Structure 1
Amino acid sequence: MKKIAIIGGGACGSAALIELIIQSIAANLEKEISFVLIERRKKAGYGLAFGSKQRTHILNTQADLMGIYANEPAHFAEWLKEHGGKYRSDVKSESNEDNAYTSRLLYGHYVAEQLDENIKKAAENNIKVERIEAEAYDIERLENEKLVIHLTNNSTAEVDEVLLAPGTPKPNTFKQFRDNKHYIDFPWPTERLLENTGKNDHVGVLGTSLSAIDTVMSLVDNGHKGKITMFSPDGMLPRVQPDESNGFESKFLTLANLHKLKREKGHTPRAKELFRLFIKDVEKAEGKSIDWKSLNRDSKDQLPLLEYDIEVAEKGGDTVSNMAYSMRYDTSRIWSWMSLHEQIIFTKWLGRHWTITRHAIPLHNAKRLAKLMKEGQLQIIPQNNKVEFLDDENCFEITTGNDGVFKIDKLVNATGSAGKLEQMDNILVQNLLKKDYLKPHPIGGTVINPHTMQCISENGGTHIYAVGHLVNGMLMDVNAVWFNVKTIARLASEIIFKTTTNGHI
């Protein structure tokens, strides 16, 4: 009998166990497979992302894309309709449930419920699912290809296959401040953030992305009265998501055209070619030429841009944002067709601008941000280039390019998830990296076979898999549940195939 371990019980780990159970039952594998879920928290299904007790922490994706089942994206929206719908206090919607943005905690309840139901189905079908409440800190590969997982409860688990789903690892940047009581190294869980900041402190937030915005929401929702200053190299806020997008259908930047280009020109898609096709699509839809340089938001005053985005979002979005959103199902395929060289060029040249357009702020939160900025409580500063702690003044000093020097009472590292393996503050990841069980990808995350999600490394063997943020270099949209459940379906099919055929037809 094969034993499959899932390390991590957040959304990705839960989705993986659910899909594996479904496929195992369908394949009548009760005598051939068993599972163990390793999660250090008492409750599985939540993780850091969906365990926040702040009801104003809302999802960054609308409900009809958040189904935990790979081929049922609307399942969460259907569940929501059966559990109070858009009239709940933890649902933000100006339209219907399909387009609603719910609290993260409500989504966590949904995932936990679906996990429990599927574990019960496994038991009814005589498929064993074991739960271990501990943290995995190392894996040892034996000569017989078995894997031994070392756990913080002083026990081990010997398994045949391991799926790494550790969730969002916090970054290990600014290590020099780790023991400073005025520094919060990660905004999650929010209890740490709130316990270490005073209501009247001037709080500095490193980052202007969605994680940083959640940090601001946490502070003001709990009565913060002091100033909040967000710092980042470019000072760019994400754009704003409409509750209901006007939609967009690409005519030029399509999979068919890119495949034709590859077939006729004999090379993979290049970053410049992608951008040119993007321009053609937008300008065709707009019926005019566009001054693209004028759309660069780097180091510009963000309030008028935010107010413009809110106005546009209330009307269903503009062509640029709607096109980026409409491409969500194709971007990973396009990314996989590009060479590493072109991926690096795209990341350096267009990556930041793509990110703020593709991963936008829900309209509800955007309006709150604009209000805070207009009232003067929140400001956004670009070009931060030096951060140090002044012992004599007991505060942080942040030096910026254009706006001078800022003195901050408390500093929060909300720069987002660590991209590269060596920057991930996770003991298991670091131990696997040292043993060459994981191979770093040049852009970020670990190297995998994108068709099966199997980790590829010199010493790791063929029985370790990874999903979510751990594969952020090779795949795009790994911070989106809908994308991760699709990759998980492929992974589960691979494991079931290996179990039923032992790798042979």
Structure 2
Amino acid sequence: MTLEIGIVGAGAAAVGLLDTLARANAAPGGITVFDGSPAPWRGRAYQEDIPAARVNAPPMIMSVRAGDAGHYSRWLHDRGERGIVDLAAYQDPGLGQPLVPRAVYGEYLGHTARAAIDRLRRDGWRVSVVHSRVTGFSRDAAVLHTEHGGRHRVDRAVLCVGGGRPHDHYGLDGAPGFVLEPYPLARTLTGIPASAHVAVIGSGLTAVDIVAGLIAGGHTGPISLLSRHGMLPWVQQRPVELRPRHLTPGRVAALAQELSLARLVSLMRQELAELGQDFDAFASEVTETGHTVEWLRRQLAAVDSPHLGRRLLTLAIRTAGPAAWRSLPRHERTMLLRRHFRAVNGLSSPMVPHNAHLLLRLFDSGQLRTRPGLVKIAPAEGKGFRVLDTSRWTADLVINAVNPPAYATPQEAGPLVSSLLAEGAAEACGTGGLSSEPGSGRLTVAGRPDPVWHVLGNLAGDTLFIATNPPGLAAEGERVARSLLAPHA
């Protein structure tokens, strides 16, 4: 019998997995991809949208092909050579790299998925895409059930459903003038009066996207960023070649049995000491919490800083972070997740200088402001919203920019996850997500791997809680692919 693989979800994780399977030269079988979204392959953030919504990272760290950091760069360069994308128009002077619209990156994901499917079919695989969500699983026959009554038998299955939709923290969904899901911005920002006072819940990268979209559309009214903390995102520094010797995935894996946060700090000290750079100055920088407008100004001034500490830390979070997370003691993982989620996540995914300059200009003009200390938002009588933070005031419209929390089960995947838990195919991990086997991504129950199910991406409890980056997903997908194709005990 040939191998039957089910892939639940058709976002960036599925794209990287399909690309790896297409290059594996394995005996052909069947692959069925299930996704109920209107824009498969693009995920939540890379749908067709306005040009102002740009990719938040340079091309060299956006490849979805495992082991090939230049895959996206080559695709993008080819699009530029053929005049399909004007790369010069999207050059970020601070990074010296083109930062194209998110929709262009969505085209790359779709192109990569279609190319992988074509290659698999040429090699004899049967590949189909079912435009329906999987809502249940029957253990006895290893059957996936879809929302439209379909039944699909599988030998292996992969849960890669992404982070889902945002939560309505203030109970505003359905109120006139409130937007819970901001993407695509082309839909949510259209029709907003230019002079309206727009309140944005959150001050992270999604909030920055919303501000950039409003301004690109000619918005002239006030914009307020609401949050409890009032912290602005970090700003990316110009890339330089880095070759860590101590804080590396291999070294962290070798120290797995004795790893601690103190040991990780020691490795960072060694990196900076060998570069002749001051660790204390670096530590003071990354632990600063007053992310004010003046802090933003200093961040922009440091885009070309010769100090490599923050660049090294960002690289380490992305590369060595996943291995470190799996090995840290449970109490330290819990502490990082509860107390330092924002800092670690922000350092791993800083905003691009192009957007930082835009924010600073708007802050200096008075059109944009941060409002820390958010307590409550409620619809006002008639229209608009009442906001309570350090004072009471009103806004005309409110747009949510707070993303789902780490390891959150997407609403659409809730029935399937509940079914997996009930069927004994999965169990909740102590720090969030679903328990899985490091290296293979197989779901585990009481430490024993499930014979059918794997997890890839945000729901994997053994992965670091940072915003998932495409190369990280691709590397995880490569490990999952090896497990899918290998015989299971």
Place the TM-score, normalised by the shorter chain, in its bin.
0.7 to 0.9
What does the per-residue CA deviation read over 1:123-170, in whole Å, with 9 as the maximum and x for residues that have no partner? 22221111212233x1222314x122223x343333222212223312
1:49 corresponds, among 36, 45, 55, to: 45
> Which amino acid is the alignment partner of residue 281 of structure 2?
I
Q: 1:490: Cα distance to partner?
A: 0.4
Matched, 1:464 2:458: no
1:440 corresponds, among 423, 428, 438, to: 428
Matched, 1:331 2:321: yes
Which residue in the other structure is 2:201 paired with?
206
Which residue in the other structure is 2:233 paired with?
238
CA contact (8 A) 1:198 1:224 kept: yes
Which residue in the other structure is 2:7 paired with?
6
- Aligned partner of residue 471 in structure 1, secondary structure: coil
> Which amino acid is the alignment partner of residue 393 of structure 2?
F
What does the per-residue CA deviation read over 1:381-417, in whole Å, with 9 as the maximum and x for residues that have no partner? 2222x223144363333322xx423322222221123
Q: 1:491: Cα distance to partner?
A: 0.3
- Aligned partner of residue 162 in structure 2, secondary structure: coil
Q: How does the TM-score come out when normalised to structure 1? A: 0.85
CA contact (8 A) 1:63 1:102 kept: no
1:405 corresponds, among 370, 381, 392, to: 392
CA contact (8 A) 1:184 1:196 kept: no
- Aligned partner of residue 176 in structure 1, secondary structure: coil
Q: 1:205: Cα distance to partner?
A: 1.4
CA contact (8 A) 1:149 1:158 kept: no
2:476 corresponds, among 487, 494, 500, to: 487
CA distance in 1, matches of 2:393, 2:69: 45
Deviating 4+ runs (over 6 angstroms): 259-262
Which residue in the other structure is 1:79 paired with?
75
Distance 1:301 1:129, change over 3 A: closer
CA distance in 1, matches of 2:337, 2:178: 30
What does the per-residue CA deviation read over 1:44-86, in whole Å, with 9 as the maximum and x for residues that have no partner? 3212221142222222221112222111121111122222168
- Aligned partner of residue 121 in structure 1, secondary structure: helix
> Which amino acid is the alignment partner of residue 416 of structure 1?
N
Q: How does the TM-score come out when normalised to structure 2? A: 0.88
Matched, 1:340 2:337: no
> Which amino acid is the alignment partner of residue 88 of structure 1?
L
What does the per-residue CA deviation read over 1:271-327, in whole Å, with 9 as the maximum and x for residues that have no partner? 3443455456557743474395676443x36211111111111x1564332121231
Distance 1:245 1:13, change over 3 A: same
1:139 corresponds, among 123, 136, 141, to: 136
CA contact (8 A) 2:30 2:125 kept: yes
Which residue in the other structure is 2:181 paired with?
186
Q: 1:343: Cα distance to partner?
A: 0.9
Matched, 1:117 2:115: yes
CA distance in 2, matches of 1:370, 1:109: 31
Which residue in the other structure is 1:172 paired with?
167
> Which amino acid is the alignment partner of residue 413 of structure 1?
N
Identical positions, percent: 18
Which residue in the other structure is 1:367 paired with?
357
- Structure 1 unmatched ranges of 5 or more: none
Distance 1:63 1:150, change over 3 A: same
Distance 1:118 1:219, change over 3 A: same
What does the per-residue CA deviation read over 1:232-291, in whole Å, with 9 as the maximum and x for residues that have no partner? 22221221113x3245555664567767866xxxx6322344345545655774347439
2:259 corresponds, among 269, 293, 305, to: 269
Distance 1:188 1:116, change over 3 A: same
2:128 corresponds, among 127, 130, 144, to: 130
Deviates more, 1:488-497 or 1:365-374: 365-374
CA distance in 1, matches of 2:484, 2:413: 22
Distance 1:60 1:473, change over 3 A: farther
Deviates more, 1:286-295 or 1:159-168: 286-295
CA distance in 2, matches of 1:365, 1:66: 18
Q: 1:207: Cα distance to partner?
A: 1.3
2:403 corresponds, among 405, 411, 416, to: 416
Q: 1:482: Cα distance to partner?
A: 0.6
Q: 1:484: Cα distance to partner?
A: 0.3
What does the per-residue CA deviation read over 1:438-497, in whole Å, with 9 as the maximum and x for residues that have no partner? 433333322211211122247994312222222266335452011000000000111111
CA contact (8 A) 1:19 1:492 kept: yes
1:150 corresponds, among 146, 152, 177, to: 146
CA distance in 1, matches of 2:220, 2:379: 24
Q: 1:175: Cα distance to partner?
A: 6.4
Distance 1:427 1:120, change over 3 A: closer
Correspondence list, 1:49-68, <5 A: 49-68=45-64
CA contact (8 A) 1:184 1:413 kept: yes
